[in-house]
Amino acid sequence: MPVIAGPAVARALLAGWQTRWRAPADGPLSRCAPGDSLIVREACIPGRIRDGGEVMTDLGRAEFVVFPDGWRRYRDGSGRSGPLPRDADEKWIAAVHMPRWAVRIELIVERGLIEPVQAVSRADLRAEGLRPVLGGLAWRWPPRGIGLSARRLYARRWNRDHPTPGYRWQDNPATIVLDVRRA
């Protein structure tokens, strides 16, 4: 089952900081069971090699994709780090259109439970990728979020990702909470 991740979430998953995925309970993730696979889709720029250099191209002719952190994923499954394309006019492809061969993060569901979003604990927040700084006096959610309260920081992130009435933090919707590990 595909899931969408922004650059900060992808970085947290790759670094091993995020081991939990939370989503509204009435969505497709509520059907996940232990052992199921989640394919993480990310925004990317398609490219190919021409005359020994990289040329950004359309998805149909792509030999590789470039992710926001500069990682290149090739059709053969290999990858390498590199700089982002220099041309500001390069077209990013929305995560939903990322080709299956470009997937670099696959998650295996280990456990799932349903709970209200506001039942999130400090341990849950760490498992969802928030990092304590200054000995826990402040919390950080990459790339830009920092706050004195991990809970408020998470609530702000939740509302950004779920702005629809009934799904907002203050509405306390039921969520599916999945413990995951990288495949």
pLDDT digits (tens, 9 = 90+) for 82-107: 998 877 667 899 999 999 999 999 99
Alpha carbon 62 to its chain centroid, in Å, reads 23
Q: Where are the domains of the chain?
A: 2-40+105-182, 43-102
Per-residue pLDDT tens digits for 28-80: 999 999 999 999 999 999 999 999 888 888 899 999 999 999 999 999 999 99
The predicted structure's pLDDT at residue 149: 77
CA pair distance 29, 79, nearest whole angstrom:
29
User: How far apart are the C-alpha atoms of 66 and 149, rounded to whole Å?
Assistant: 34
Contact by Cβ (8 Å): 22, 117: yes
CA distances from 120 to 4, 31, 42, 98, 128 (A): 21, 21, 26, 31, 10
Interatomic CA distance for residues 31 and 44, integer angstroms: 28
The pLDDT value given to residue 122: 85
pTM (predicted TM-score): 0.85
Share above pLDDT 70 across residues of the chain, in percent, rounded to a whole number: 93
CATH of range 2-40+105-182; options 1.10.3720.10, 3.50.50.60, 3.10.400.10, 3.90.650.10 = 3.10.400.10
Question: Would you state the structure tokens that stand for residue 179, as one six-digit string?
Answer: 């413990």
> Which tokens sit at 154?
């998470």
CA 47 to chain centre: 22
| Cα-based angle 56, 11, 147 (whole degrees, multiple of 5) | 125
User: Which residues face 54 on adjacent strands?
Assistant: 49
